[in-house]
Amino acid sequence: YNDITKAKEENKTAIFFGFQNCSPIEDDIGLIEKVHSQGCRFMQLTYNNQSLLATGCYEKNDSGVTNFGKEAIKEMNRVGIVVDMSHSAEKSTLDAIEISQKPIAITHANPTFWFEAKRNKSTELLKVLSDSGGMLGLSLYAHHLKDGTNCKIESFCEMVARTVEIMGIDNVGIGSDLCLNQPDSVVEWMRNGTWSKSKIFGEGSKDKPGFPKQPDWFLDARGFNNINTELKNKGFHEEEINKILGNNWFNFYKGIN
φ, ψ of residue 173 to 5 degrees: the values are -140, -165
In-domain check, residue 57: yes
Residues 202-215: tens digit of each pLDDT: 787 777 777 899 99
Question: Predicted confidence band at 31 (pLDDT cuts at 50, 70, 90)?
Answer: very high
Shared domain for 116 and 87, answered yes or no, is no
**Nearest alpha-carbon partner for 118 in 42, 66, 62, 181:** 62
Shared domain for 87 and 119, answered yes or no, is no
pLDDT greater at residue 103 or residue 5: 103
Shared domain for 156 and 203, answered yes or no, is no
Is residue 220 over pLDDT 90?
yes
How far apart are alpha carbons 126 and 156 in whole angstroms?
17
Exposure letters 100-112 (e unless 16+ CB within 10 A, then b): bebbbbbbbbbbb
Among 66, 92, 118, the domain boundary falls at 92
> At a CB cut-off of 8 Å and minimum separation 6, what does 25 contact?
31, 32, 35, 43, 72
Shared domain for 76 and 195, answered yes or no, is no
Domain residue limits at 24 = 13-92
Among 92, 114, 142, the domain boundary falls at 92
Shared domain for 78 and 118, answered yes or no, is no
Contacts 24+ apart (CB under 8 A), 111-115: 111/159, 111/162, 111/163, 111/166, 113/162, 114/146, 114/155, 114/159, 114/162, 115/144, 115/145, 115/146
> At a CB cut-off of 8 Å and minimum separation 6, what does 197 contact?
none
Report yes or no: 108 and 140 within 8 Å, Cβ to Cβ: no
pLDDT of residue 206: 74
Q: Can you give the CATH number for the domain in which 108 is found?
A: 3.20.20.140
Is residue 179 over pLDDT 90?
no
Shared domain for 241 and 121, answered yes or no, is yes
Among 52, 68, 92, the domain boundary falls at 92
**Nearest alpha-carbon partner for 106 in 124, 91, 123, 126:** 126
| Residue ranges of E strands in 140-237 | 172-174
Report yes or no: 170 and 135 within 8 Å, Cβ to Cβ: no
Q: Give me the chain's average pLDDT, please.
A: 95
pLDDT of residue 201: 77
In-domain check, residue 116: yes
Report yes or no: 36 and 179 within 8 Å, Cβ to Cβ: no
Is residue 257 over pLDDT 80?
no
pLDDT of residue 156: 99
Question: Predicted confidence band at 14 (pLDDT cuts at 50, 70, 90)?
Answer: confident
How far apart are alpha carbons 133 and 129 in whole angstroms?
7
Shared domain for 132 and 24, answered yes or no, is no
What 3-state DSSP class applies to 17? strand
Amino acid at 236: F
Shared domain for 154 and 224, answered yes or no, is yes
Residues 60-88: tens digit of each pLDDT: 999 999 999 999 999 999 999 999 999 99
pLDDT of residue 97: 99
Number of domains in the chain: 3
Of the chain, the percentage scoring pLDDT greater than 70 comes to: 100
